């Protein structure tokens, strides 16, 4: 008979046999999990990335010192992208006899392409989101600007040669800067009004920008196409360069989503491996019968491979349906996170998930199928006759090659692949050794215990290699679940610590020394704690170790920018709470020696500076030489005044300086700012509360995404536990029937099986805790740049989870075998 026809004819009977259903379910679950995770990681990743893009008000921003050429807009339109334009420049605005410097932000109709502008009807009033831009002849003014010129909503102010109506208070725009260079408050103007103001003429210092937004592929294509048209003076910015805080949150979320996809794939691989092992074992009797009737090895293998592929196709169809359904449900649940206008993921998640499952199936089932061809026909009469086992190197090599290829295709991150796969291999080897040791111990310690425990321990010892394999399966499942739990907890906790609820939400800049007492008096009168005033001196590097900063070579391009830009210096006797010394030593509080400096570690790396190097600064025409004494790591997310370079006390005496400060003001306290900016018009107050809300929004969405995807990985972990139990279900069914036929009560048999699972769970849980602790420390530090603290409760959690999950999985999977009729089981044995 033709092998194809026989495979098709017997496939229906194989499906009803039971063991094929286990493998089919494992594949379907693998595809379902990978499909759902693929859809979610893609959609949520796009949502988080779009949120991060709000700091640019676009997906891509091109900044230039000359007007934007029409060809750039035309090229963007050819790629189907949205565009908007901005013009930014400083100017003095007038309201009667009062005037103030403002940063004019002229915007076109589509601004902003990402994010939203917020305005208020009164100074420091309730904010609301607004669509569009100011109408012709109207402006939206920053509250600080209105306070300086004693104006309010409804008043007219003079902008250049035009009188314009203040129609709202500008409280937030997504691309506003919080840097110390943003000294002047903003004035949002319709770009069509600029020609009438006469403010832009030949030689005017204006920053022009083209904002672009759209599909990721189109953005990438446009960015590549436009590069040849861009002069060196034009800077293209994406979200990775726009806001370190926002991007860090988005990047960590993307990394975690990738990590969950990898772990889901690993768990699916273990589940398929366990199911494929049982699939091949159960087919040995059928193959022996076929051979005794004259079937050739080629015929046997062809039938087995064809049926395996049919199982794979059915699993892919069922799993894809599960994945689609799960994605729809979760998209509805997470509708506040996933924007409706995001492009669909397309079929790629299904294609990748299906391909991954089929590769896993071949990688783990093919070695077992190769063993089938050597099944002796004598097995028809003697069930103890086993075919020679295939080379372990072949089995391990094919399996690892399949997993490694799929992991790299899914993640594309070689470092993550090496850390995870290397760690899993080491842990699996340790689990196997522990399993073999456990088998040897159980043979010695099973005396002196009750009947149920004696039966359970005897099962562990008798099964030998199978018990060790089960420990590996249970342990790997628990390890990756504990790992993901630890990383998820550390990630969420790290995000919570990133933005403290008491973080400053206002900066004060350009405070003159003679204003310190009067500013402090305003805070005292308002009943608000006076903030700390930090000195700031503007300087430029001249030489490093006697070499000009202009001609010096730097390890990183950013180093040249840091060395040649105007720097903000400060001095302090005590180390800030948001700083930590990583090299060298901090000076004593009463230090009075030659000027010393402490530099931020990344700045030192980019500029090639080391402890002991000498830097000469030029400050107001005077030179100051300092020696680097230490390097610091800085928590920039603290939103407190921090500096790349801090000097020792006395180093900046007699230098022209101003002061800056940060403070937290509750909504009811913000009215004091009106008095502050009116009595001290030179001081700039920057409200960063909207920035904090934006970053908190990114973190909140990323956190929900992390927790949603985590549920799917838990499902994959449970599948591994069930597959491990199912791998020995036939033996348990026969043993249970035999014991009950000999007079054992069902309760005793069941208690013995639970005792066996409890022992396996204890061993797997303890070693999984150790493996997860080590692996989590590496993953947290190397992949997420998060601090890791060892938690002894993890061992207790691992032990409890091991016993509980393994016993529950064993109970659900094995109760059918224990409850089976002894007569029916023994008749078919």
Cα 11 to Cα 7: distance, rounded to the nearest angstrom: 6
Residue 817 has pLDDT above 70, yes or no: no
Task: Calculate mean pLDDT across residues 67-82.
Answer: 87
Picking from 471, 485, 28, 468, the residue whose alpha carbon sits closest to that of residue 268 is 28
- Of the three residues 596, 629, 664, the one that is the final residue of a domain is 664
Specify the number of domains making up the chain: 4
111's CB contacts (< 8 A; 6+ apart) are 57, 84, 85, 86, 117, 133, 211
pLDDT higher than threshold 90 for residue 414: no
Q: For 748-795, write each residue's pLDDT tens digit.
A: 777 777 777 787 778 888 888 888 888 878 877 777 777 777 777 777
243 found inside a domain: no
| pLDDT, average across residues 214-238 | 76
CA separation (Å) from 795 to 115, 432, 484? 45, 19, 15
The answer on 617 and 746 residing in a single domain is no
What is the SS3 assignment for 755? helix
Asked if residue 772 belongs to a domain, the reply is: yes
Check pLDDT > 80 for residue 104: yes
Identify whether residues 264 and 408 lie together within a single domain: yes
Q: At what angle do helices 297-333 and 19-53 cross, to 10 degrees?
A: 40
Q: How far is the C-alpha of 462 from the C-alpha of 732, rounded, in Å?
A: 12
Using CA atoms, how far apart are residues 489 and 818, in angstroms rounded to an integer? 39
* Percent of the residues in the chain that have a pLDDT greater than 70, as a whole number: 67
Statement to judge: residues 312 and 336 lie in one domain? yes
Average pLDDT for the chain: 76
Task: Write out the H or E segment, with its range, that includes residue 533.
Answer: none
How high is the pLDDT of residue 242? 43
Q: Give dist(CA 355, CA 128) in Å, integer.
A: 48
Q: What is the pLDDT of residues 541-593, one digit of tens each?
A: 999 999 998 888 888 877 887 888 788 899 998 888 888 899 999 999 888 88
H or E, element range at 109: none
For residue 219, what are its two tokens?
Answer: 């953005």
* 640 phi/psi in degrees, rounded to 5: -110, 155
**62 lies in some domain:** no
What is the per-residue pLDDT across 633-654, written as a single tens digit (0 to 9) for each? 887 766 678 888 999 998 888 8
Residue 196 pLDDT exceeds 70? yes
What is the rounded distance in angstroms from the CA atom of residue 502 to the CA atom of residue 577? 14
Report pLDDT for 140.
94
Are residues 555 and 615 both part of a single domain?
Answer: yes
Q: Is the pLDDT of residue 181 over 50?
A: no
- Among 137, 263, 117, residue whose Cα is nearest residue 190: 137
Backbone angles phi, psi at 574, to 5 degrees: -120, 150
Residue 179 has a pLDDT of: 47
The parent domain of residue 595 ranges over 529-664
- Whether the CA torsion 191, 193, 195, 199 is positive or negative: it is negative
Contact status, residue 122 vs residue 653, Cβ threshold 8 Å: no
Q: Would you state the pLDDT for residue 180? A: 45
Same domain, 491 and 433: yes
Same domain, 400 and 446: no
Q: What is the mean pLDDT of residues 37-47?
A: 68
What is the band of 156 on the pLDDT scale with cuts at 50, 70, 90?
very high
* Residue that terminates a domain, selected from 634, 664, 694: 664
User: What is residue 178's predicted lDDT score, i.e. its pLDDT?
Assistant: 47
Contacts from 776-783 at CB under 8 Å and sequence distance 24+? 776/482, 776/483, 776/486, 776/487, 776/490, 778/419, 778/423, 779/259, 779/419, 779/420, 779/483, 779/487, 780/486, 780/487, 780/490, 782/415, 782/419, 783/255, 783/259, 783/415, 783/416, 783/419
Give yes or no: residues 640 and 776 share one domain: no
**Which own/partner pairs from 117-121 qualify as long-range (CB within 8 Å, at least 24 positions apart)?**
117/170, 117/172, 117/173, 117/174, 117/188, 118/171, 118/172, 118/173, 118/690, 119/168, 119/169, 119/170, 119/171, 120/168, 120/169, 120/171, 121/153, 121/168, 121/169
406 and 432 share a domain? no
What average pLDDT does this structure show over 442-455?
A: 60
Q: By mean pLDDT, which of 225-229, 392-396, 676-680 is the weakest? A: 392-396
Q: Fill in the DSSP letter of residue 525.
A: H
- The phi and psi torsions of 485 (rounded to 5 degrees) equal -65, -45
Is the pLDDT at 188 greater than 90, yes or no?
yes
Q: Is the pLDDT of residue 339 over 60?
A: no
- Residue 240: which pLDDT band, with cuts at 50, 70 and 90? very low
**10 or 529, which is more confident:** 529
Token pair 């034009």 in the structure block, residue:
234
- Judge if 9 and 109 occupy the same domain: no
pLDDT digits (tens, 9 = 90+) for 785-815: 777 777 777 778 788 877 887 777 777 766 7
Least confident of 414-418, 437-441, 552-556, 722-726: 722-726
Contact call for residues 233 and 47 (beta carbons, < 8 A): no
| pLDDT over threshold 90, residue 403 | no
Q: Are both 258 and 402 inside the same structural domain?
A: yes
pLDDT at position 598 over 80: yes
Closest CA to 168 of 149, 150, 153, 156: 153
Quick check: is 677 in a domain?
no
Q: Are 237 and 61 in contact (CB under 8 A)?
A: yes
Does 381 have pLDDT greater than 50? no
Instruction: Provide the pLDDT for residue 380.
Output: 45
Mean pLDDT of 708-716: 66
Distance CA 260, CA 283 (A): 34
Q: Is the dihedral of CA 414, 419, 420, 423 positive or negative?
A: positive
Q: Give me the pLDDT at residue 341, please.
A: 56
Q: Does residue 726 sit within a domain?
A: yes
């Amino acid at each position: 008979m033709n092998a194809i026809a026989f495979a098709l004819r017997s496939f229906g009977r194989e499906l009803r046999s039971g063991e094929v259903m286990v493998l089919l379910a494992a594949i379907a679950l693998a595809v379902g999990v990978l499909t759902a995770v693929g859809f979610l990681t893609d959609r949520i990743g796009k949502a988080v990335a779009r949120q991060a893009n709000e700091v640019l008000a676009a997906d891509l921003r091109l900044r230039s010192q000359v007007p934007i050429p029409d060809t750039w807009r035309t090229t963007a339109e050819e790629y189907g992208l949205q565009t908007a334009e901005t013009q930014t420049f400083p100017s003095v605005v007038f309201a009667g006899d009062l005037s103030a410097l403002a940063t004019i932000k002229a915007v076109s109709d589509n601004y902003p392409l990402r994010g939203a502008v917020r305005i208020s009807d009164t100074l420091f009033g309730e904010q609301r989101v607004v669509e569009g831009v100011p109408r012709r002849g109207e402006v939206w003014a920053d509250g600080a600007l209105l306070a300086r010129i004693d104006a309010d909503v409804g008043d007219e102010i003079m902008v250049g040669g035009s009188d314009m109506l203040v129609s709202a208070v500008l409280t937030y725009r997504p691309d506003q800067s919080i840097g110390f260079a943003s000294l002047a408050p903003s004035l949002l103007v319709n770009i069509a009004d600029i020609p009438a103001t006469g403010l832009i003429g030949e030689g005017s210092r204006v920053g022009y920008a083209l904002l672009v937004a759209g599909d990721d592929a189109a953005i990438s294509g446009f960015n590549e196409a436009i590069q040849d048209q861009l002069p060196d003076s034009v800077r293209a910015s994406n979200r990775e360069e726009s806001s370190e805080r926002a991007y860090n949150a988005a990047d960590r979320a993307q990394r975690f989503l990738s990590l969950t996809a990898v772990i889901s794939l690993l768990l699916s691989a273990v589940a398929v491996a366990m199911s494929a092992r049982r699939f091949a074992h159960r087919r040995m009797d059928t193959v022996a019968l076929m051979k005794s009737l004259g079937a050739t090895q080629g015929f046997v293998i062809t039938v087995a491979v064809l049926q395996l592929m049919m199982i794979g196709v059915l699993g892919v169809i069922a799993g894809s349906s599960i994945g689609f359904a799960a994605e729809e449900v979760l998209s509805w649940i997470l509708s506040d996170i996933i924007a409706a206008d995001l492009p669909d993921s397309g079929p790629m998640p299904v294609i990748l998930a299906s391909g991954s499952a089929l590769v896993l199936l071949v990688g783990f089932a093919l070695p077992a199928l190769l063993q089938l061809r050597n099944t002796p026909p004598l097995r028809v009469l003697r069930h103890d006759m086993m075919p020679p086992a295939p080379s372990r190197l072949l089995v391990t090599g094919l399996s690892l090659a399949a997993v490694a290829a799929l992991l790299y295709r899914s993640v594309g991150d070689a470092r993550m692949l090496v850390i995870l796969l290397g760690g899993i291999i080491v842990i699996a080897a340790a689990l196997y050794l522990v399993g073999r040791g456990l088998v040897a111990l159980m043979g010695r310690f099973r005396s002196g215990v009750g009947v149920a425990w004696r039966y359970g321990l005897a099962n562990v010892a008798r099964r030998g290699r199978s018990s060790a394999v089960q420990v590996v399966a249970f342990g790997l499942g628990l390890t990756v679940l504990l790992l993901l739990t630890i990383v998820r907890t550390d990630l969420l906790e790290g995000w919570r610590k990133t933005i403290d609820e008491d973080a400053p939400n206002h900066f004060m800049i350009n405070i003159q020394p003679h204003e310190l007492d009067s500013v402090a008096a305003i805070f005292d009168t308002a009943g608000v704690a006076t903030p700390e005033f930090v000195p700031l001196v503007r300087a430029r590097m001249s030489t490093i170790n006697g070499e000009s900063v202009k001609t010096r070579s730097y390890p990183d391009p950013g180093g040249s920018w840091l060395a040649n830009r105007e720097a903000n210096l400060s001095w302090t006797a005590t180390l800030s709470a948001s700083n930590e010394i990583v090299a060298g030593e901090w000076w004593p509080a009463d230090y009075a020696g030659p000027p010393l400096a402490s530099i931020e570690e990344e700045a030192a790396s980019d500029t090639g500076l080391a402890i002991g190097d000498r830097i000469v600064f030029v400050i107001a025409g005077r030179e100051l030489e300092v020696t680097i004494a230490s390097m610091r790591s800085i928590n920039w997310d603290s939103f407190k005044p921090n500096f790349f370079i801090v000097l020792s006390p006395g180093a900046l005496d007699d230098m022209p300086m101003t002061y800056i400060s940060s403070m937290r003001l509750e909504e009811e306290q913000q009215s004091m700012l009106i008095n502050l900016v009116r009595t001290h018009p030179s001081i700039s107050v920057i409200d960063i509360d909207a920035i904090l809300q934006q970053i908190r929004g990114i973190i909140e969405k990323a956190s929900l995404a992390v927790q949603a995807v985590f549920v799917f990985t838990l499902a994959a972990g449970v599948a591994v536990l069930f597959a491990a139990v199912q791998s020995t279900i036939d033996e348990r069914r026969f043993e249970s029937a035999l014991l009950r036929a000999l007079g054992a009560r069902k309760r005793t048999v069941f208690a013995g099986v639970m005792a066996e699972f409890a022992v396996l769970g204890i061993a797997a849980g303890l070693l999984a805790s150790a493996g997860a602790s080590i692996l989590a420390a590496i993953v947290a530090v190397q992949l997420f740049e998060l601090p890791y603290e060892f938690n002894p409760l993890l061992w207790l959690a691992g032990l409890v989870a091991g016993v509980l999950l393994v016993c529950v999985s064993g109970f659900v999977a094995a109760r059918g075998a224990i409850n089976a009729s002894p007569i029916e089981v023994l008749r078919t044995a």
